[in-house]
Amino acid sequence: MTKLYVDRLAITVRSSPRLGPTAELHRTHQRRQVAHLVAERRGVPEERIRARRPLDGEPADAGDFLVVQRTLTALGSPPGRPHTLYLVRSGPLLDPMVAPLTAAAHTTGWPGDEVGISHLEEQGGTLVFDLLAWAVPEGDGATVVVVDDPAYVDDTTEDPAFAAVGLRLAPTGALRIRACGEGEPPAPDTGPYAHRFSGAGPCDAWLELYAALESGAIGRGESALLHTAGRERQGWVLVEAVRPDRLRMTGVRI
């Protein structure tokens, strides 16, 4: 298994997501039909499901890849060695005829391969590292973008981040991925860590880690547990700040 390090960390966050009711749309409207399916799957009235409206004058947002595009731009171009882009995203899109991964890679001029991962749901920011430890060849890097920018939301019970977290993985780097797992996270005495960040979505704990690193709250050699407790399962990832002063960080708001 490959040892994973992070040498760049970027986030893109929506300042004011625009959510609109879908029940007012005609019953044959595509978004109304998707909202009905979402409500049926979650066991809630259709009237509670709202659709995220794209930003005016932003074709990339109408195509559901703006946050990915901005995050990749913030991370910068990948190094010349073999480098794969992994997009981790679950849930229905505003426009099912658009492929956000392909569109984002094309508009940013991504030079390498792209892989989409859609089955991890809220554990996209934790369990993906188990996959990456096997998928990324020793000595190579990768770019990972974890997205929590749902197109359909039950805003009475759900509080998504409306964000994306980008990680540039390298053979060595400022942060080391020590371990990850599914279920209850380890206690501080069994897997020593000085900080713990938790949330219900795939980006929540990473956004808290970003804020802590930006403020200087995490010292060299300290570890942080990132814990996600979603609707159906729990997951965690343990991160060590090897050289936090060398971590290149970029935050974007849209």
How many Å apart are CA 250 and CA 222, to the nearest integer?
21
**Mean pLDDT over each residue of the chain, to the nearest integer:** 92
Q: What is the pLDDT of residue 96?
A: 67
User: Between 100-108 and 66-75, two packed helices, what is the crossing angle to 10 degrees?
Assistant: 40
User: Is it the case that residue 13 has pLDDT exceeding 70?
Assistant: yes
State mean pLDDT over 222-248: 95
Is residue 132 very low, low, confident or very high in pLDDT (cuts 50, 70, 90)?
Answer: very high
- Domain 5-21+28-37+45-253 in this protein, CATH class: alpha beta
pLDDT (tens digit per residue) in 191-219: 789 999 999 999 999 999 999 999 999 99
What are the extents of the domains in the chain?
5-21+28-37+45-253
Q: Is the pLDDT of residue 190 over 80?
A: no
| Kind plus residue range of the DSSP H or E element containing 141 | strand 141-148
CA-based nearest residue to 193, from 172, 211, 178, 206: 178
Give the separation between CA 101 and CA 94, rounded to whole angstroms: 14
pTM: 0.94
- Percentages helix, strand, coil for the chain (3-state, rounded to 5) are 25, 30, 45
- 19 - beta bridge partners? 52
Residue among 73, 74, 71 nearest 87 (CA): 71
- Tokens 């998504």 sit on residue: 160
Lowest mean pLDDT among 70-74, 165-169, 185-189: 185-189
> Mean pLDDT, to the nearest integer, of 139-144?
93
What pLDDT, in 10s, does the model give residues 25-47? Answer: 777 788 888 888 888 888 899 88
Say how far apart CA 192 and CA 215 lie, in whole Å: 22
166 vs 35, residue with greater confidence: 166
What band does 184 get if pLDDT is binned at 50, 70 and 90? Answer: very high
State mean pLDDT over 7-30: 89
Cα–Cα distance between 143 and 150 in angstroms, integer? Answer: 21
Q: Decide which of 141 and 81 is more confident.
A: 141
Reply yes or no on whether the pLDDT at 78 is more than 90: no
Q: Looking at the predicted structure, is the pLDDT value of residue 98 above 70?
A: no
Inform me whether the pLDDT recorded for 181 exceeds 70. Answer: yes
Q: Which DSSP symbol is given to 54? A: P
Token pair 């990972």 in the structure block, residue: 144
Tell me: pLDDT of 97 over 70. Answer: no
- Which candidate, 154, 12, 118, places its Cα nearest to that of 69? 12
The whole-angstrom separation of Cα 85 and Cα 67 is 15
Q: Is the pLDDT of residue 140 over 70?
A: yes
